[in-house]
Amino acid sequence: MERENQFIGQSGAFLDAVERASRAAPMARPVLVIGERGTGKELIAERLHRLSDRWEEPLVVMNCAALPETLIEAELFGHEAGAFTGATKARVGRFEEADGGTLFLDELGTLSMGAQERLLRAVEYGEVTRIGSSRPMRVDVRIVAATNEDLPKLARQGRFRADLLDRLSFEVITLPPLRVREGDISVLSDYFGRRMAAELGWAEWPGFATHVSQALEDHPWPGNVRELRNVVERAVYRWEDWSQPIGHVVFDPFDSPWKPAQPVRSDDRSKREGPRTEVPVVAQTDFSHVEDLREAVDAHERAIVEHALGRHRWNQRQTAKALGLSYDQLRHCIKKHGLTE
């Protein structure tokens, strides 16, 4: 769990989730944290622990998806020497490690049905039994679990124990995705940008150019805060002139004009039919608010040229070639739209 991370945000949806976690923290009850990847489920789990009476005791983290099904139960409950092939000595499980503290189970929805059954007993009776042992042990553990799965739906489908879901859902905290956190993208971008600039030793923080700030606001952020952090830090470290606002951002680090072409199979129908001209797909846009056609076309043209220039690191000959323009035509577009490097 990344200790240097902290809660950054001002939107009502985000602050409501944090407040709910703060209210639930003193309660010695299980809590489920639901959210998309990168929304900060680990931070909420840490907040629940640090604001509880258990803050001086261990916070033990286990990613249920990181282990094969055959090892999950041994990791959770421990095992005795000789319990199975390769168990040369006894091992303490995560429940025993977290005794008196908090056990954070990430990716809960990936637990096998067998592990769910044993977890249910541990939650309900406060007892765990090591694999290969017949003697149960008492443990005092507060469970915090996280997932991006729809657990009630999995329970209806018989893929998650409904009785375990009932035990774990004393409180359910659902974290809002970044795309609905109004005002938080600019706050987070500035925070991550300043931190990266300081790491690089910049004398000052130039901020982002207007078109970059707008691009950050318009991006859907499927990876949420984790993705935003990567995008911002990458943009800062690639920018060479800290005296000027950062004027280019790359959302997909794998996007490149030199990306290796996918091999074409010999039985590919398109190959049999001969070469075909690819028609670029224009993103669906809401045209109902267009009042000035020329202005709308110019704005679209500017955005395309600006993106292509940034993608090719302002190499104008490569940009012109990529857009199917002559060098002079591209220069005319740059001048027409007032684009500067």
Q: Read off the pLDDT of residues 285-298 as tens digits, 9 standing for 90 and up.
A: 556 677 788 888 88
Strand order through the sheet with 59-63 = 59-63, 102-106, 142-147, 31-34, 171-174
Q: Positive or negative, the Cα torsion across 104, 107, 109, 112?
A: negative
Q: Thinking of the domain 179-238, which architecture would CATH place it in?
A: Orthogonal Bundle (1.10)
Topology of domain 12-176 in CATH is: Rossmann fold (3.40.50)
Least confident of 18-22, 142-146, 284-288, 295-299: 284-288
Which residues are bridge partners to 106 per DSSP?
A: 63
Query: Do residues 87 and 75 touch, judged by C-beta distance below 8 A?
Result: no
Does pLDDT of 340 surpass 80? no
Output the pTM of the full model: 0.74
Q: Where are the domains of the chain?
A: 12-176, 179-238
